[in-house]
C-alpha cells in the first residue's frame, strides 16, 4: 500500500491561478475602463447550485472582477429564461455568463445552452466552443475539465503515456475530459478509456488506470477494490449526504470513497476542496479571456 499520498488541494492550486488572474485583470481594467464582468443565472433553490454560485461570486471579488447574480424562481418558463439569456447576450457590460445547471425538469437545458452567445459562453458548453476544443482551436474550455488539467499542471502530475480512465460521459465533464487528456499537450498525451454506467465489469477497467477521473454522480461509488496501487485519483463528484452528527445536518462527499481509496493512491483530490475551487478558477480564466 502507498504509505503516504499527496493531497491535491484545489484551494491551493486555485489560489495560485487566481493570483495570476488578478495580476492580468489590472491590465484589462486599464484597457476597458472597467473590470471583467461575470454574470451567473441561478434558477430555483438547489442546494449544491446555490453553494457553487456563491463561491463563484466570492471568487470574482477576490480577483477584482465585477459579478452579477440573476436569481429566478424554479417555476420560471423556458421562454422567460431564454429572454434572460438574450438580455445578457446583448449587454455590452457583461463579458461572460453562466446558467447554473441542473435546471428544473420543465426547461430544456440544451435549448438554453444553444441560446448563449459562444463569445460569452465562459462555461464552455456551447457546441461551437466544444468543437473548437476537439480540433485544438482556441476557445473557452469547459470549466471543470480545464480546472482538472490546471490542477494536474500545478502539482506536476506526469500524464504523458499514462492510461487515464474517465468514469462518466456527460457533455459537461466526462466527454471533454477524455479529449483534453488525450490531446497532444502537457498535461495530456494519455491513452484514454471513457467508461460509464453501461460499461461491463467496470472495476476491471478502473483498476487499469494510472490516472482515474471519476464523474459518475453517485456518492462513494468508487471503492478501494476498483483502484490500483499508486494511482492518481481525481474525484469530480459533490453530494450532500444527511448526517445528524453534523451541525448542518449533512456532510459533503464525492463519487470516491475517500477513506478506503486514499491509502492506495500516490495522489488524490479531497471533496470538498478539490476539483470545486479549480472549476471556479477556470471559470474566471475564461471570463478574463472574454474580457480581453
Which residues have a catalytic role annotated?
56, 100, 123
Residue in this structure with the C-alpha cell 493570483, named with its chain if needed: 19
Taking the CA atoms of residue 269, residue 287, residue 185 and residue 179 in that order, the dihedral angle to the nearest 10 degrees is 70
All cell numbers assigned to 1: 500500500
Residue in this structure with the C-alpha cell 479531497, named with its chain if needed: 270
Amino acid at each position: 500500500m502507498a504509505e503516504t499520498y499527496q493531497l491535491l488541494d484545489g484551494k491551493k492550486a486555485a489560489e495560485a491561478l487566481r493570483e495570476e488572474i488578478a495580476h492580468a485583470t489590472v491590465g484589462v481594467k486599464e484597457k476597458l475602463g472597467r473590470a471583467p464582468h461575470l454574470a451567473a443565472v441561478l434558477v430555483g433553490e438547489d442546494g449544491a447550485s446555490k453553494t457553487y454560485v456563491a463561491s463563484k461570486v466570492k471568487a470574482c471579488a477576490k480577483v477584482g472582477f465585477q459579478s452579477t447574480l440573476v436569481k429566478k424562481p424554479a417555476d420560471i418558463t423556458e421562454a422567460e429564461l431564454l429572454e434572460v439569456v438574450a438580455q445578457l447576450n446583448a449587454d455590452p457590460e457583461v463579458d461572460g455568463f453562466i446558467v447554473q445547471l441542473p435546471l428544473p425538469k420543465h426547461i430544456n437545458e440544451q435549448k438554453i445552452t444553444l441560446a448563449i452567445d459562444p463569445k460569452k459562453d465562459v462555461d464552455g458548453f456551447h457546441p461551437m466552443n466544444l468543437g473548437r476544443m476537439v480540433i485544438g482551436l482556441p476557445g473557452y474550455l469547459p470549466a471543470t475539465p480545464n480546472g482538472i488539467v490546471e490542477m494536474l499542471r500545478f502539482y506536476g502530475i506526469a500524464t504523458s503515456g499514462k492510461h487515464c480512465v474517465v468514469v462518466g460521459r456527460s457533455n459537461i465533464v466526462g466527454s471533454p475530459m477524455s479529449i483534453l487528456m488525450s490531446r497532444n499537450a502537457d498535461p495530456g498525451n494519455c491513452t484514454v478509456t471513457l467508461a460509464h454506467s453501461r460499461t461491463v465489469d467496470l472495476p476491471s477497467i478502473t483498476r487499469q488506470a494510472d490516472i482515474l477521473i471519476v464523474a459518475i454522480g453517485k456518492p462513494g461509488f468508487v471503492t478501494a477494490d476498483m483502484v490500483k496501487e499508486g494511482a492518481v485519483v481525481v474525484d469530480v463528484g459533490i453530494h450532500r449526504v444527511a448526517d445528524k452528527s453534523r451541525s448542518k445536518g449533512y456532510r459533503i462527499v464525492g463519487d470516491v470513497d475517500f477513506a478506503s481509496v486514499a491509502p492506495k493512491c500516490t495522489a488524490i483530490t479531497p471533496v470538498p476542496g478539490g476539483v470545486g475551487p479549480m472549476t471556479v478558477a477556470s471559470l474566471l480564466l475564461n471570463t478574463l479571456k472574454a474580457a480581453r
